[in-house]
């Protein structure tokens, strides 16, 4: 057993982190900066990471990039296209030519639809959806900003057409990857919220001292970091399991990761708001943007305690 | 001990209930409409004879026991009406520290709702550490001239008057050089800068920049240097759910969330059950606290305990709202996001715990 990241995986993570730090929104105001978003879109398109799966990458690579992107509040699509690309890769796995309607997914330019809503749809035209074991394709209609200020959802334009069928196992694995990618997104957003609060606690002074010097604040932030570390561990396992365990086990590992990370991430983001005091409760502070992203990713492919087979009964 | 209404209380409750049945319908209890109608709601309550229940008759109140406020809060919640306008802490502040003339001039308007108020204490650099405030007031003839920047001022955009804390003497220890003023918001030296909360609402609070605003020296609350005592009275009461009149609202929110869960055919999430138990705790806690006031007990540091309890209730109701509808229901999402501010406004939870540890438990400080 050795559950460390490989050198390549660390490099991928660092590259994703750099990109997020360079071009992600550094403030709420930056969210409205279309030039920056366009540069970001170009940079991410050039990496080819949206087609990690069809390029043979594992669930671990997908999770690492998703995490770093959410940490940097990357406001162009990633999780959606990666999941669409995974469906594409599964349909064409046997070396068959791509069925009609799949071309956009191949180019990393499609997202997925869940419950009739195109998620993570900014600037994307195509979409794929998995219903049962059937893969459907369609187009993205009008997009709107919802609860999450960094991602757009879209209408599904027109009827979907069936483009292929997965076997039951492949469908389960896709679901496991979806749980892992959204859990990684929550973890990244939580880490972003935590880092923001740590920085603030070092500079904000009250009663003549940095607020981070007060144990009440220091302990909140220390707890938040422990929650991050717990989440990293369950998530690493789940990300690995997507490809390495049986499909049923992969889903179980992913459910554990998602349920744990959801609770942890929400608490961490609430802590971030609290550490910021009044400012944390204003729109202009990024703390709620992280929280909103966590809430949204929690609801996208939701997981509940009841679904986890804990072997307790 | 009797948790039930006395005959007089029951009669009051019945009268109130009849009045609400007739009038409450036109007032929204949340959202933009609530904010826009807040002033009219205050006036309507006052004219109906239901506002300022425990305040002196000579200022337009009713001289009733504080428990009548509980009855009011409960019935407002049951009727789905907006909560009682929360001015109690300002009224207590003036009642205790202002001269008779200042009380005569300002309390009636505060109670009958013809003049709306806000509280200008916090500054960008002075939040938890309020005594570090730098807004200054300088005497110029029979007026003071005010320069400074206030922030998080609730309802500043609709206020006529602001209770401002400002430094009048920079040369004495910082708690001693602060004075309280009642400043008109309608004058050139007052600039309003709106703030948007994380739930998207802009009507909650704002920033107020005083740049040469003028206030008659006669509008000082108490004497020069009395500002800190005034501030402590005000924030002490601001921490008491019994003064704020919010507590009954939580029970109502819990019941409406249960209806939503029921209508969706789902089961009642554990988060909601827990919120229901917490809301019941607070309902009973407020009854106990207000009854204690009959003995003339005035709560000081105890307000910090009450504030913590109230914060936990509000935030567990927020979590329950998320558990029931997630982010899909806009109002529930906003209620959840708003609940995060409860552990900051009126003094943060960390500060309440410091007060409890130091002043009530007598624990040594480092
Ligand atoms: C919705 C809302 C309405 C408000 N309305 C008003 C109003 O009408 N009028 C008004 O004057 N003010 C108002 N306030 C301001 C409120 O009182 C302050 O926000 C609060 O006192 C905290 O100050 P701050 O925001 O500067 O945070 P800070 O004091 O900077 O605190 C940041 C963090 O540090 C912690 N901290 C600071 N000092 C210590 C310490 N010694 N020990 C441990 N932890 C510490 C805090 O708990 C917090 O987590 C309102 C605030 C909110 C959120």
For residue B238, indicate whether it is catalytic.
yes
What's the 3-state SS for A22-33? HHCCCCCHHHHC
Q: State whether the beta carbon of B207 lies less than 6 angstroms from ligand 1.
A: no
For the CA of B347, the nearest atom of ligand 1: 21
pLDDT truncated to tens, each residue of chain A (313 aa)? 899 999 999 999 999 999 999 999 999 999 999 999 999 999 999 999 999 999 999 999 999 999 999 999 999 999 999 999 999 999 987 777 777 767 776 777 899 999 999 999 999 999 999 999 999 999 999 999 899 999 999 999 989 999 999 999 999 999 999 999 999 999 999 999 999 999 999 999 999 999 999 999 999 999 999 999 999 999 999 999 999 999 999 999 999 999 999 999 999 999 999 999 999 999 999 999 999 999 999 999 999 998 998 887 6
Query: Going by CATH, does the domain composed of B117-223 fall within 1.10.390.10?
Result: no
Closest-lying ligand 1 atom to the alpha carbon of residue B235: 17
Kindly report the length of chain A.
313
Shortest alpha-carbon distance between residue B180 and chain A (Å): 21
Task: Report DSSP letters for B79-127, one per residue.
Answer: HTPPPPP--HHHHHHHHHHS-HHHHHHHHHHHHHTSS-EEEE---SS-S
Cα B179 to averaged position of ligand 1 atoms, centre (Å): 20
How does pLDDT run across A127-162, given as a tens digit for each residue? 999 999 999 999 999 999 899 999 999 999 989 999
Where would I find the beta strands (DSSP E) of A148-272? 152-165, 205-206, 209-210
- pLDDT for B244 equals 64
CA dist., res. A85 & res. A107, Å (int) = 8
pLDDT in the model for residue B245: 64
What's residue B297's pLDDT?
Answer: 63
Question: Between chains, do A277 and B151 touch, taking CB under 8 Å as contact?
Answer: no
- According to DSSP, the residues that pair with A145 across neighbouring strands are A152
User: What are the pLDDT digits (tens) for A223-243?
Assistant: 999 999 999 999 999 999 999
The answer to whether B225 touches B177, Cβ cutoff 8 Å, is yes
8 Å CB contact between A217 and A275: yes
CA proximity to B257, closest of B336, B200, B201, B343: B336
Q: How far apart are CA B107 and CA B58, in angstroms?
A: 9
User: In the prediction, which pLDDT does B72 show?
Assistant: 92
The preferred substitution site among B89, B122, B246 for testing ligand 1, maximizing ligand atoms within 8 Å of CB, is B122
Q: How far apart, in Å, do the first and last CA atoms of chain B sit?
A: 42
Instruction: Count Cα neighbours of B149 within 13 Å in the Cβ-side half-sphere.
Output: 7
Mutate to test the interface with B, among A29, A211, A281 (most CBs of B within 10 A): A281
Asked if B63 contacts B56 with a C-beta cutoff of 8 angstroms, the reply is yes
Indicate the CATH number of A170-307 among 3.40.50.300, 2.102.10.10, 1.10.3720.10, 1.20.140.10: 1.20.140.10
The rounded Å distance from CA B128 to ligand 1 centre is 5
Nearest to A19, CA basis, from A82, A84, A80, A73: A73
Residue of B nearest to A292 (CA): B327
Dihedral angle over CA of B182, B184, B188, B193, nearest 10: 80
Contact B214, B143 (CB under 8 A): yes
Q: Where exactly are the structural domains of chain B?
A: 7-85, 117-223, 239-360
Name the minimum distance, in Å, from the CA of A275 to any CA of chain B: 9
Instruction: Please spell the DSSP secondary structure of A69-115, one letter per residue.
Output: HHHTT--S--HHHHHHHHHHHHHTTTSPPPPTT-HHHHTT-EEEEET
Identity of the residue in A216, A274, A282 whose CB atom sits nearest the CB atom of B196: A282
Query: Of the candidates B122, B197, B349, which has its C-beta nearest A283's C-beta?
Result: B197
Q: What's this model's pTM, rounded to 2 decimal places?
A: 0.96
Question: What string of DSSP letters covers B327-344?
Answer: TSSHHHHHHHHHHGGGGT
Look at residue A145 and give its three-state secondary structure.
strand
Running DSSP on this structure, what letter comes out for residue B197?
A: B
Going from N- to C-terminal start, the domains of chain A cover 170-307
CATH number of B239-360: 1.20.140.10
3-state SS class at A140: strand
Confidence at residue B52, expressed as pLDDT on a 0 to 100 scale: 92
- Give the right CATH number for B7-85 from 1.10.540.10, 1.25.40.20, 1.10.3720.10, 3.40.50.280: 1.10.540.10
pLDDT in tens for each of the 366 residues of chain B?
888 999 999 999 999 999 999 999 888 887 777 878 888 999 999 999 999 998 999 999 999 988 898 899 889 988 989 988 888 889 989 999 999 999 999 999 999 999 999 999 999 999 999 999 999 999 999 999 999 999 999 999 999 999 999 999 999 999 999 999 999 999 999 999 999 999 998 888 999 999 999 999 999 999 999 999 999 999 888 887 666 667 778 988 999 999 999 888 878 899 999 999 999 999 889 888 888 877 766 656 788 999 999 999 999 999 999 999 999 999 999 999 999 999 999 999 999 999 999 999 999 987
- Chain B residue at shortest CA distance from A211: B128
Distance (angstroms) between ligand 1 centre and the Cα of B123 equals 10
Residue of B nearest to A278 (CA): B344
Across chain A, the runs of DSSP E, i.e. the strands, are 110-114, 117-118, 126-131, 134-145, 152-165, 205-206, 209-210
**Ligand 1 centroid from CA B349, angstroms:** 9
Please state, for a pLDDT cut of 70, what percent of chain A lies above it: 98
């Amino acid at each position: 057993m050795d559950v460390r990241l490989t050198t390549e995986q660390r490099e991928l993570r660092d590259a994703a982190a750099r990109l997020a730090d360079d071009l992600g929104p550094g403030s709420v105001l930056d969210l409205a900066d279309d030039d920056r978003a366009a540069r970001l879109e170009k940079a991410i398109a050039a990496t080819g990471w949206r087609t990690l799966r069809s390029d043979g990458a594992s669930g671990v690579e997908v999770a690492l990039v998703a995490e770093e992107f959410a940490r940097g509040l990357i406001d162009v699509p990633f999780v959606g296209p990666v999941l669409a690309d995974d469906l594409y890769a599964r349909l064409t796995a046997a070396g068959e030519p791509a069925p009609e309607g799949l071309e956009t997914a191949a180019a990393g330019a499609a997202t997925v639809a869940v419950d009739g809503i195109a998620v993570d749809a900014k600037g994307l035209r195509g979409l794929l959806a998995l219903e049962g074991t059937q893969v459907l394709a369609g187009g993205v209609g009008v997009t709107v900003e919802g609860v999450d200020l960094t991602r757009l959802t879209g209408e599904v334009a027109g009827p979907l057409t069936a483009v292929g069928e997965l076997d039951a196992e492949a469908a389960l694995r896709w679901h496991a990857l979806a749980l892992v990618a959204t859990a990684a997104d929550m973890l990244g957003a939580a880490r972003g919220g935590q880092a923001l609060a740590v920085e603030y606690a070092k500079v904000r002074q009250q009663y003549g001292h940095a607020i981070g010097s007060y144990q009440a604040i220091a302990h909140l932030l220390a707890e938040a970091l422990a929650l991050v570390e717990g989440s990293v561990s369950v998530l690493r396992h789940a990300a690995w399991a997507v490809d390495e365990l049986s499909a049923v086990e992969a889903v179980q590992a992913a459910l554990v990761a998602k349920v744990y990370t959801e609770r942890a991430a929400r608490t961490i983001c609430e802590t971030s708001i609290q550490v910021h005091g009044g400012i944390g409760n204003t729109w202009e502070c990024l703390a709620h943007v992280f929280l909103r992203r966590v809430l949204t990713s929690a609801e996208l492919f939701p997981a509940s305690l009841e679904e986890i087979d804990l072997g307790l009964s | 001990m009797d948790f039930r209404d006395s005959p007089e209380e029951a009669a009051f409750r019945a009268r109130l209930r009849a009045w609400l049945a007739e009038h409450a319908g036109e007032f929204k209890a949340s959202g933009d409409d609530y904010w826009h109608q807040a002033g009219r709601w205050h006036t309507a309550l006052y004219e109906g004879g239901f506002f300022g229940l425990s305040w002196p008759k000579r200022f337009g109140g009713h001289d009733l026991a504080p428990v009548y406020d509980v009855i009011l809060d409960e019935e407002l919640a049951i009727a789905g009406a907006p909560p009682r306008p929360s001015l109690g802490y300002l009224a207590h502040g003036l009642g205790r520290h202002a001269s008779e003339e200042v009380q005569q001039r300002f309390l009636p308007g505060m109670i009958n709702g013809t003049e709306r108020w806000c509280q200008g204490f916090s500054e960008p650099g002075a939040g938890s550490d309020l005594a570090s405030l730098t807004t200054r007031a300088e005497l110029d003839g029979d007026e003071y001239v005010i320069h400074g920047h206030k922030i998080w001022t609730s309802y500043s955009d609709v206020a006529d008057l602001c209770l401002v804390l400002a430094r009048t003497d920079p040369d004495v220890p910082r708690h001693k050089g602060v004075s309280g003023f009642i400043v008109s918001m309608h004058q050139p030296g007052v600039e309003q800068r709106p703030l948007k909360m994380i739930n998207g609402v802009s009507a909650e609070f704002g920033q107020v920049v005083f740049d040469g605003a003028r206030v008659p020296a006669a509008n000082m609350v108490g004497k020069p240097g009395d500002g800190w005592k005034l501030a402590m009275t005000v924030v002490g009461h601001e921490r008491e759910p019994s003064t704020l009149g919010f507590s009954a609202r939580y029970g109502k929110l819990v019941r409406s969330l249960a209806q939503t869960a029921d209508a969706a055919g789902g089961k009642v999430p554990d988060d909601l059950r827990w919120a229901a138990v917490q809301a019941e705790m607070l309902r009973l806690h407020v009854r106990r606290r207000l009854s204690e006031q009959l003995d003339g007990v005035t709560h000081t540091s105890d307000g910090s305990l009450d504030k913590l309890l109230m914060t936990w209730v509000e935030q567990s109701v927020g979590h329950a709202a998320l558990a029931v509808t997630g982010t899909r229901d806009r109002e529930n999402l906003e209620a959840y996001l708003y609940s995060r501010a409860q552990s900051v406004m009126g003094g943060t939870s960390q500060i309440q715990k410091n007060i409890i540890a130091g002043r009530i438990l007598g624990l040594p400080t480092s």
